[in-house]
Amino acid sequence: MIQEELDKIREELPEGVRLVAISKYHPTSAIEEAYDCGQRIFGENHVQELMEKESVLPKDIEWHFTGHLQTNKVKYIAPFIRLIHAVDTEKLLREIDKQGRKAGRRIPCLLQLHIAKEQTKYGFTPEELDAFLQTGIHKELDFAEIHGLMCMATFTDDQSQIDAEFARAHDIFEQTKERYFSDSPFYTELSMGMSEDYTLALRHGSTLVRIGTRIFGERVY
């Protein structure tokens, strides 16, 4: 079943778009099954769970952190994490830089853009993002490398609203790339699209889709 779903999703992905299999709350056996089907990128939302899985699963897995990351936990994942999707404060970005320096490796990050209607605490609004990048902080940091943006659409059945939000995220990605990253070879990723909305996200230039339920089934919390 995991094999079937992975194959279906892979067929839908345009060239250059990567699938992050979101394995949070699923057992290592499910990850191994996906691994045996060739899947190598997995996303987790909790540091403790990620560390436990990382320690027992194959070393060529590319682990992404897709949840809200607390500053005091960056040190645990800094030695191996391949992409941190949801950086939403300067404090967090600076801590990632510090821990990357200690671990002797650059850590790719995405800035979380908040465009959905929900009143969540997380993510930069478009205005905040612009103000943040105007400070030039991304040029100051040697070990936290900004590779692009991540966003989540509003949780709604209204496809036209989701479509408009992804279109807006893509616009903001292009604008920020032109204004602030024109000399950076790294600013290339737009992480958007989950089980229910990745088809729409792909129409708007997503380069990383984060899919859990479609692959692994419902999560048991």
Ligand X SMILES: *Cc1c(COP(=O)(O)O)cnc(C)c1O
Task: Tell me which residues touch ligand X (CB under 6 A).
Answer: 22, 24, 45, 66-67, 194-196, 210-214
Measured CA distances, 29 to 8, 195, 210, 216 (Å): 21, 21, 19, 11
Q: How far is the CB of 178 from ligand X (least distance, A)?
A: 26
Question: Closer CB to ligand X, residue 190 or residue 211?
Answer: 211
With beta carbons less than 8 A apart as the criterion, state whether 137 and 93 touch: yes
Measured CA distances, 74 to 50, 51, 168 (Å): 12, 12, 30
Contacts of 10 by beta carbon, 8 Å cutoff, 6+ apart: 19
Question: Closer CB to ligand X, residue 163 or residue 196?
Answer: 196
Show the tokens assigned to 101. Answer: 């320096």
Q: How far is the CB of 1 from ligand X (least distance, A)?
A: 15
Q: How far is the CB of 157 from ligand X (least distance, A)?
A: 14
Question: Closer CB to ligand X, residue 74 or residue 141?
Answer: 74
Q: How far is the CB of 142 from ligand X (least distance, A)?
A: 27
Residue number closest to ligand X, CB atom: 212
Question: Closer CB to ligand X, residue 45 or residue 99?
Answer: 45
Residue 38 and residue 6: Cα distance in Å, rounded? 9
